[in-house]
Amino acid sequence: MDITEHIIFDEDALQGLFSGDDNSSDDGSSETGREFVCDDVKTGLQLFHAVFQPLAYSLVFLLGVAGNGLMMTVLLKRKRLLRITEIYLLHLAVADLLLLSTLPFIVAESVVGWQFGDVLCKLVGLLERLNLLCGSLLLACIGFDRYLAIVHAIPSLQRRRPRTVHLTCVLLWLVCLALSAPSAIFYSVAVVPTNPLVLSCAFNQHGTHANNWMLANRFLTHVFCFLVPLAVMGYCYTAVVLTLCHSQRSLEKQGAIRLALIVTAVFYICWLPYNVTMLMDTMVVLGVTSISSCETYTQLEQALVATESLGLSHCCLNPFLYAFVGVRFRNDLLQLCSSCGCKPACLTRLMVQGQSSSTSSGQL
């Protein structure tokens, strides 16, 4: 089970694609209209899913849980004194941790198939969709909040109250839940058509309706997980940069501009490859374009997993981009490390790290 589920193909077509077809002619073409037969692509993809995907997802899981868990711990220690942006960061940490919690199930499925039953299949699928949507839109909210704080500092005071921010986050969670809920209906456990001994958790129920929802899910991913956040961040941070360019504090201005550019660029770099690859795969599914060889099919499937891993790595970077650069957050982190018995040398290293960005965090 991945962020984007596989299309449900006709079982006979899959058997012919992967294991050959008795009706195939000597030159590899099929009497049923298939242009080629993939004899060993199944083995290659199974090896790829059993080796690369577990390694990549395990690395993302460990780094993401460590970074977001640390950020969440620091924020919760002063939960009654959270600033506006930190409220968004707390919700972002929750969304990222819940999304990361689904990765061990995906890793296990890629190695031995789905072994956790139908209920967990629906729950994991729902959590995956919900937190991917919510995490992406929270990034847009953080960009918009910084836009209000810097570009419209005085007029936005009423809108940037903690109560308003909490209500905004609750509303965002509810909207994302509504957009994700149909996934729980269509997710189910079924036998993989190309390997009767392996179970998969995918959009297996309700046939054509599941196919249609899977395509709708891809559209939602393009729009709400990439295009909308990128547009909001691009506009808001551009306005922030232009505003700071007219400010008088040159040192703070340079650091804040640099951080705004980094935040936008990292989101773009992490998620653009996956969205492009998924769009190509969708075009193949809809028949807009065709795959001419087994090698092309294998490369596309591998690219989906590789680019998805790159996109998920953004969960690991969020704490560093949005929290660890702040002077107040680093001071709280130092206090936490000190209370946990961290050595003075470690504390000194943490104080030195990010010193150049300390002034920028006050502006951005």
Task: Indicate whether 255 belongs to any domain.
Answer: yes
- Backbone φ, ψ for residue 204 (5° rounding): -100, -20
Confirm if 87 and 162 have CB atoms less than 8 A apart: yes
Give the domain range for residue 328: 324-354
The more confidently predicted of residues 109 and 363 is 109
Do 342 and 298 share a structural domain? Answer: no
What confidence tier does 16 reach under pLDDT thresholds 50, 70, 90? very low
Confirm if 311 and 270 have CB atoms less than 8 A apart: yes
CATH code at position 185: 1.20.1070.10
What's the CA gap between 12 and 17, in Å, rounded? 9
> Comparing 85-94, 221-230, 253-262, which segment has the lowest mean pLDDT?
253-262
What does the pLDDT read at residue 348?
Answer: 53
Task: Indicate whether 4 belongs to any domain.
Answer: no
What confidence tier does 33 reach under pLDDT thresholds 50, 70, 90? very low
What's the CA gap between 325 and 327, in Å, rounded? 7
Do 337 and 268 share a structural domain? Answer: no
Do 268 and 229 share a structural domain? Answer: yes
The more confidently predicted of residues 138 and 193 is 138
Do 173 and 204 share a structural domain? Answer: yes
Task: Indicate whether 172 belongs to any domain.
Answer: yes
Do 348 and 206 share a structural domain? Answer: no
Element (H, E) at 190: strand 187-192
Count of domains forming the chain:
2
Report the length, in residues, of the chain.
Answer: 364
State the greatest distance between any 2 C-alpha atoms of the chain, in Å, as a whole number. Answer: 77
| Whether pLDDT at 6 is above 60 | no
| One-letter identity of residue 314 | H
What does the pLDDT read at residue 153?
Answer: 76
What's the CA gap between 301 and 297, in Å, rounded? 6
What is each CA distance from 117 to 1, 120, 201, in whole angstroms?
Answer: 13, 6, 9
Cα distance between the two ends of the chain:
38
Element (H, E) at 294: helix 294-312
Q: Under 8 Å CB-to-CB from 141, ≥6 apart: which residues? A: 88, 168, 169, 172
Average pLDDT, the chain: 80
Task: Indicate whether 1 belongs to any domain.
Answer: no
Do 223 and 84 share a structural domain? Answer: yes
According to DSSP, the β-strands at 195-203 and 187-192 are: antiparallel
Confirm if 142 and 173 have CB atoms less than 8 A apart: no
Nearest CA to 61 out of 317, 318, 320, 316 is that of: 316
User: 322: burial class by Cβ within 10 Å (0-12, 13-18, 19+)?
Assistant: buried
What does the pLDDT read at residue 2?
Answer: 55
**Neighbour count for residue 25 (Cβ, 10 Å):** 10
Do 318 and 333 share a structural domain? Answer: no
| Whether pLDDT at 311 is above 90 | yes
| Whether pLDDT at 171 is above 60 | yes
Q: Under 8 Å CB-to-CB from 44, ≥6 apart: which residues? A: 298
What does the pLDDT read at residue 27?
Answer: 44
The encoded tokens of residue 112 equal 């031995």
Q: Which of 11-25, 165-179, 249-263 has the highest mean pLDDT?
A: 165-179
Do 258 and 111 share a structural domain? Answer: yes
Do 195 and 154 share a structural domain? Answer: yes
Do 195 and 285 share a structural domain? Answer: yes
Nearest CA to 94 out of 78, 71, 124 is that of: 71
